[in-house]
């Protein structure tokens, strides 16, 4: 049993080992298959690389052998193959239908094919050349004069083809793709390799057609570096005569006359900058504008120097072309040879249309731009008809306001007609508006003197660019002339008697102003005297909008004692004649009274006064009815009052006409007491004369001692009628003016002395008393005659003055 188990285990172990061995063999086979496959693939790629590199190595080996052979041949026969290989002809074949040519320059924006024909080597060498290097210099514009600077040398490895008849020549084709300036005099050809089986391009073999049509690419093998190709001076200048050569368009055939090929496929960059960009309404400008046209282009210098006539900017004003901007008008930025600019001035009011577009000589177009705008620098204009500024009219007028502008904003037009003193606005009769004018008319607003006033006409308007016009003017309508007025101090003098006059001020207000200065005169006691400019002054002000003239007539014109009148006569601009005493209208000549008439009297002389039968420090004996006192007072003009005061109290006052009687009389009661007597005379100007008699006694005479003669009784009886004199007033007016009191008092004293002497004589005897009575009556009669003469003179003077006034 155990043995069987062991045998079974051995068999099982043997079968597991067999399976593991089989799996391992399969894995090994797979790995070997993969390794062999990898080796085969690697070998295939290696053989492919060798197959590719072997002809090249053979070619370079052949070239090396030929070069060596050529060198040995040169040594023996003094012939160098590269040196004798010379360029016979270069044809330029642009890849576009039309190109532009100016002088020695050809401009294109697409690649150019150069067909280079070489000769100078024998046919056997020509047959063995396979590839050659074609080197051509590329340049750029160095400055605004289009001087060129070399930037690099482009080297191209191209196929070499040849023909043997009629002369052995080689032909290579080089395509210029990069932008730049190529000098066809800066082209060189160098042999690169020799083919084992050279191909002929004109020998009838079809095998060469594929290679003939294949374009060789250009690779840069020599670039300009800072150390090698940085030319300080341009190596080529444009001939001076080149700028005079006219444009010519060449077909796609070979171009043999061009020296420089300019390939430029970059669009010019055009920019327009305006200095005034404050716009109104999308296209309106209130000030002139200038535009700077800037072109950024590497080849624009040729357009400038070769006088390219293509327009860059065309400008029209009001539909008419005024500017045609070409390259010749541009200037160069001194810092950048590719930056050019020109300025355009839009310097007048017009509707402008400007179009901008640039095209270089290679046919590249810049972006275009078109601007339409309007320049309006003029403010609206205004025309006023029917009235004038400052005009004066005596009847109705019809003001008309017309505001004009090519681009007027009708909604902004405003007009007002305002009454200055009245304060009302006058509505227009009609108003018409359009895009270029506005008309406002006023009429039928004046109906008579009640509408006399200063009228202020105002207007304002704007155009579409906010140019604003505003203004005002005023005129007057006046059919009633001037109005005169006295100021308060002058009004207090009117119709008064004054001790001293003051400056006289009279105001004149006239809506229309005066046509010329007024005439000012003073009438003194009926005689008129015209004043000159030194006798008065005039100041100008306004009175509720109307002109006001204030005349100041100086006090020195009223220095004399006299009756005065002041006259002012004027004529206004409306033709009205006016006076401070009366006003005459122009239309009907009717007169109307004025409240500014001025009359006054200057009187600085004190009245004359005399008292009879009384003196100071005297004692008078009388009957029971009292002592008779007689007073005589007079004035050069007129007396206002005469008062008789005893001990400071008014005993009797005569006023007005009563005061101006020749003799005033009253009686003092015999009370036996000492009294102070004051006699006062006052005129209407306030001048005062006072007579003082102090310590006056009146005592009653006893009946037993009375001795009166028959004649004295008769005379005293005749004097009893004096009791009918004026009744004394109950009021006493005080006065501070005592100018001539001393003089009057002196006169009173002399009269007292006279009365005293008479009384002394009366006490001595009857004969003396009779003489005194006679003398008294004679004096009274003389005084009465003098008063009558004085009154008659005053009445005559007043009568004459009133006649002159009429």
Cα–Cα distance measured from residue 655 to residue 649, given in angstroms and rounded to the nearest whole number: 17
Of 50-54, 485-489, 700-704, highest mean pLDDT: 485-489
Which is more confidently placed, 670 or 712? 670
Q: What is the pTM of this model?
A: 0.49
Q: What is the mean pLDDT of residues 374-403?
A: 92
**Phi, psi at 542, each rounded to 5°:** -125, 150
4 CB-near residues (< 8 Å, 6+ apart) = none
pLDDT at 601: 94
CA 796 from chain center: how many Å?
A: 73
pLDDT at 306: 85
pLDDT of 490 over the 90 cut: yes
Q: What is the mean pLDDT of residues 361-376?
A: 92
Cα–Cα distance measured from residue 491 to residue 266, given in angstroms and rounded to the nearest whole number: 99
The interaxial angle of helices 766-805 and 710-718, nearest 10 deg, is 20
Element (H, E) at 566: strand 562-571
Q: What is the mean pLDDT of residues 170-188?
A: 90
pLDDT of 73 over the 70 cut: no
* Residue found under tokens 């391009």: 201
Cα–Cα distance measured from residue 706 to residue 710, given in angstroms and rounded to the nearest whole number: 12
Q: What is the mean pLDDT of residues 674-700?
A: 92
423 CB-near residues (< 8 Å, 6+ apart) = none
Strands (DSSP E) contained in 283-436 are 284-285, 289-296, 313-317, 320-325, 331-332, 339-346, 350-356, 369-375, 381-385, 392-393, 400-404, 414-419, 425-426, 430-433
Q: What is the mean pLDDT of residues 537-559?
A: 93
- Dihedral angle, C-alpha 618, 619, 621, 627, nearest 10 °: 50
pLDDT averaged over the chain? 77
pLDDT, tens digit (0-9, with 9 covering 90-100), for 392-401: 998 889 999 9
2-11, 389-398, 414-423, 789-798: segment of lowest average pLDDT = 2-11
pLDDT, tens digit (0-9, with 9 covering 90-100), for 708-741: 444 454 445 444 444 333 323 333 233 333 333 3
pLDDT of 250 over the 70 cut: no
Nearest Cα neighbor of 474 from 454, 489, 490 is: 454
- Assigned token pair, 271: 């920019």
pLDDT, tens digit (0-9, with 9 covering 90-100), for 273-312: 999 999 998 999 999 999 999 999 988 888 888 888 899 9
pLDDT, tens digit (0-9, with 9 covering 90-100), for 572-602: 999 999 999 874 444 444 444 456 899 999 9
CA 712 from chain center: how many Å?
A: 105
Nearest Cα neighbor of 805 from 635, 481, 519, 581 is: 581
pLDDT of 313 over the 80 cut: yes
Is cis: bond before 166, omega within 30 of 0? yes
Cα–Cα distance measured from residue 151 to residue 542, given in angstroms and rounded to the nearest whole number: 88
The residues that bridge with 342 in the sheet, in sequence order, are: 293
């Amino acid at each position: 049993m155990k043995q069987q188990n062991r045998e079974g285990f051995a068999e099982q172990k043997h079968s597991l080992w067999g399976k593991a061995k089989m799996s391992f063999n399969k894995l090994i086979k797979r790995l070997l298959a993969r390794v062999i496959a990898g080796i085969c693939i690697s070998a295939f790629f290696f053989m492919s690389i060798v197959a590719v590199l072997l002809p090249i190595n053979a070619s370079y080996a052949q070239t090396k052998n030929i070069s060596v052979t050529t060198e040995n041949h040169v040594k023996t026969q003094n012939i160098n193959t590269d040196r004798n290989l010379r360029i016979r002809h270069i044809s330029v074949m642009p890849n576009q239908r039309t190109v532009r040519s100016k002088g020695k320059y050809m401009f294109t924006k697409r690649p150019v094919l150069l067909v280079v024909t070489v000769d100078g080597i024998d046919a056997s060498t020509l047959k063995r050349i396979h590839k050659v290097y074609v080197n051509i210099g590329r340049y750029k514009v160095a400055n605004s004069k289009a001087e060129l600077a070399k930037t690099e040398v482009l080297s191209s490895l191209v196929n070499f083809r040849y023909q043997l008849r009629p002369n052995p020549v080689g032909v290579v084709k080089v395509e210029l793709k990069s932008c730049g300036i190529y000098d066809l005099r800066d082209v060189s050809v160098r042999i690169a390799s020799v083919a084992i089986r050279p191909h002929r391009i004109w020998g009838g073999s079809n095998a060469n057609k594929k290679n003939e049509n294949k374009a060789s690419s250009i690779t840069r093998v020599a670039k300009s570096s800072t150390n090698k190709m940085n030319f300080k001076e341009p190596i080529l200048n444009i001939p001076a005569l080149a700028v005079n050569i006219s444009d010519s368009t060449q077909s796609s055939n070979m171009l043999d006359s061009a020296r420089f090929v300019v390939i430029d496929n970059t669009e010019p960059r055009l920019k327009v900058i305006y200095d005034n960009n404050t716009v109104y309404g999308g296209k309106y400008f209130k000030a002139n504008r200038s535009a700077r046209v800037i072109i950024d282009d590497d080849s624009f210098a040729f357009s400038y120097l070769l006088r390219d006539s293509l327009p860059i900017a065309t400008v029209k004003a009001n539909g008419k072309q005024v500017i045609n901007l070409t390259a010749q008008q541009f200037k160069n930025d001194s810092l950048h040879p590719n930056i050019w600019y020109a300025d355009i001035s839009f310097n007048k009011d017009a509707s402008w249309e400007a179009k901008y577009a640039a095209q270089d000589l290679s046919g590249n177009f810049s972006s275009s731009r078109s601007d339409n705008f309007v320049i309006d620098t003029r403010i609206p204009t205004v025309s006023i008809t029917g009235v004038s500024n400052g005009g004066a009219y005596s009847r109705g007028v019809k003001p008309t306001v017309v505001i004009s502008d090519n681009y007027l904003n009708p909604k902004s037009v405003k007009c007002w007609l305002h009454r200055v003193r009245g304060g009302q606005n006058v509505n227009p009769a009609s108003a018409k508006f359009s895009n270029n004018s506005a008309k406002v008319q006023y009429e039928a607003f004046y109906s008579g003197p009640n509408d006399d006033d200063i009228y202020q006409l105002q207007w304002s308007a704007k155009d579409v660019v906010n140019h604003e016009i505003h203004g005002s003017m005023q005129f007057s309508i006046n059919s009633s002339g001037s109005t005169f007025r006295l100021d308060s101090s002058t009004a207090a003098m009117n119709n008064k008697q004054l001790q001293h006059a003051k400056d006289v001020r009279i105001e004149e207000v006239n809506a229309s102003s005066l046509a010329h200065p007024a005439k000012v005169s003073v009438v003194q006691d009926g005689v008129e005297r015209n004043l000159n400019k030194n006798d008065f002054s005039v100041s100008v002000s306004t009175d509720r909008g109307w002109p006001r003239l204030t005349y100041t007539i100086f006090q020195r014109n009223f220095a004399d004692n006299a009756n005065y009148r002041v006259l002012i006569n004027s004529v206004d601009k409306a033709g009205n004649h006016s006076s401070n005493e009366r006003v005459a209208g122009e239309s009907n000549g009717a007169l109307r009274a004025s409240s500014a008439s001025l009359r006054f009297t200057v009187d600085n002389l004190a009245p004359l006064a005399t008292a009879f039968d009384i003196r100071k420090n005297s004692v008078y004996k009388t009957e029971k009815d009292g002592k008779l006192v007689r007073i005589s007072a007079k004035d050069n003009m007129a007396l206002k009052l005469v008062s008789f005061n005893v001990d400071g109290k008014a005993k009797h006052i005569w006023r007005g006409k009563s005061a101006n009687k020749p003799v005033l009389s009253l009686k003092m009661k015999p009370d036996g007491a000492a009294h102070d007597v004051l006699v006062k005379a006052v005129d209407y100007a306030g001048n005062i004369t006072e007579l003082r008699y102090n310590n006056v006694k009146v005592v009653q005479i006893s009946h037993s001692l009375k001795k009166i003669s028959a004649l004295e009784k008769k005379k005293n009886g005749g004097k009893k009628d004096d009791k009918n004199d004026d009744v004394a007033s109950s009021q006493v007016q005080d006065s501070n003016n005592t100018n001539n009191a001393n003089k009057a008092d002196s006169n009173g004293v002399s009269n007292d002395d006279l009365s005293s002497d008479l009384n002394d004589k009366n006490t001595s005897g009857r004969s003396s008393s009779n003489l005194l009575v006679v003398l008294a009556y004679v004096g009274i009669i003389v005084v009465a005659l003098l008063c009558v003469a004085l009154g008659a003179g005053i009445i005559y003077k007043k009568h004459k003055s009133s006649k002159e006034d009429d």
